[in-house]
Structure 1
Amino acid sequence: MGESGRGMKCFTLIFAAIFFSTLRVQAELISVDAITVVDGDTIEVGGHRYRLVGYDTPEIKTRRRKVTPDERALAIVAKKRFTELLHNGPLDLAEVVCSCPTKTIGTKKCNYGRKCGRLTLNGKNIGEMLIAEELAEPFVCGETSCPEMPDWPKIIERQFSAQRPQ
């Protein structure tokens, strides 16, 4: 790599370090007893409901659409596994800025009024564990909006068809 290539790489690394350090949110150690599990990606802590970021789990129920029996069954498994994981080490909860237009943060128009958070277990995002176990899908939002929600019926069909003997 030439001198200018190394310089650009160094500049990029420094810029990234500064940028991400400004986004850093202080995580707080939290007791498992302080957490009420709503589903695989939503918890209640201290009277506040948090939508955990970086992943999505199937819905147990929702007003937005009809939930299939297969999706509900997988959602219950994901919630149960999430609850089990909470008992496997130290937990940190960091509130993060929700991916909504600034004027809507904290209102029903932003994430149904929930706060956004990142929950780590032994320093690792708990969502990554659920993704690895095929109980969740990556779900990464932009600065002020999120992509379309995962199509859980299609995901479940794909998982089951991949597991069927040919």
Structure 2
Amino acid sequence: MNRKQRRPQPRKAYRRRSWRWREVQLLLALSAIGFIAVVQWVEGGGRPHAATFAAAPLTSDVQAATFGACDAGAGINCVVDGDTFWLGGTKIRIADIDTPELSPPRCDYEKQLGLKAKDRLQTLLNAGPFTLASIDRDEDKYGRKLRVVQRDGVSIGDTLINEGLARPWIGHRDPWCT
């Protein structure tokens, strides 16, 4: 039998894609970083915040800032809810209290009380200098710095408790809805 020998077929020339997937991912990441930088620049009135370059110290040193409400995501100096706020780009959880959740609230009562606690915390933080005292652990499981916030030796958390907007922290959250 006479076998015909197969001739090797020439390889097809593949076009190189103009963008590789990794390059697309890098471009998206750089675009997101640039967008965040522009938003922070605009929120700062066209001037960079000092906190953009150096976080505020989280010792018992006296702190003072003007706080707004955090609308979405991270902030420089803003209040997230009744027991959490951003100071100089660092997220702080008030260690001695528990307030109603706002994201998401489990009932209308929790939402209403949570909004009151958030507004009151913003007022208390804006009332003047305060100190941040460390506790036995530095951070919670969410990476927030755990601190007791005090003004003139009195816990701001105790003020919120006395006004019925918070309760003492007992190591876990209890429901606010009945």
Give the TM-score taking structure 1 as reference length: 0.60
Aligned-pair identity in percent equals: 34
Matched, 1:138 2:168: yes
The aligned counterpart of 2:115 is 76
Structure number, greater radius of gyration: 2
Contact 2:102 2:111 in 1 (8 A): yes
1:88 CA drift (Å)? 2.6
DSSP 3-state at the match of 2:142? helix
> What is the count of residue pairs matched by the alignment?
112
DSSP 3-state at the match of 1:112? coil
More helix by share: 1
DSSP 3-state at the match of 1:153? coil
**Which of 21, 30, 41 is the matching residue for 2:63?**
30
Note the residue ranges of structure 2 that are not aligned, 5 or more in a row: 1-57, 67-75
Structure 2 Cα separation of the partners of residues 48 and 87 of structure 1: 17
The aligned counterpart of 1:127 is 157
Correspondences of 1:6-155 after superposition (within 5 Å): 26-33=59-66, 35-62=77-104, 67-98=106-137, 110-140=140-170, 146=171, 148-154=172-178
Superposition RMSD in Å: 2.2
DSSP 3-state at the match of 2:164? coil
1:32 CA drift (Å)? 2.4
DSSP 3-state at the match of 1:73? helix
Contact 1:95 1:116 in 2 (8 A): yes
1:26 CA drift (Å)? 4.6
Structure 2 Cα separation of the partners of residues 71 and 32 of structure 1: 28
Structure 2 Cα separation of the partners of residues 55 and 74 of structure 1: 14
Note the residue ranges of structure 1 that are not aligned, 5 or more in a row: 1-24, 99-104, 141-145, 155-166
Higher relative contact order structure (alpha carbons within 8 Å, sequence separation ≥ 6): 1
Contact 1:88 1:121 in 2 (8 A): no
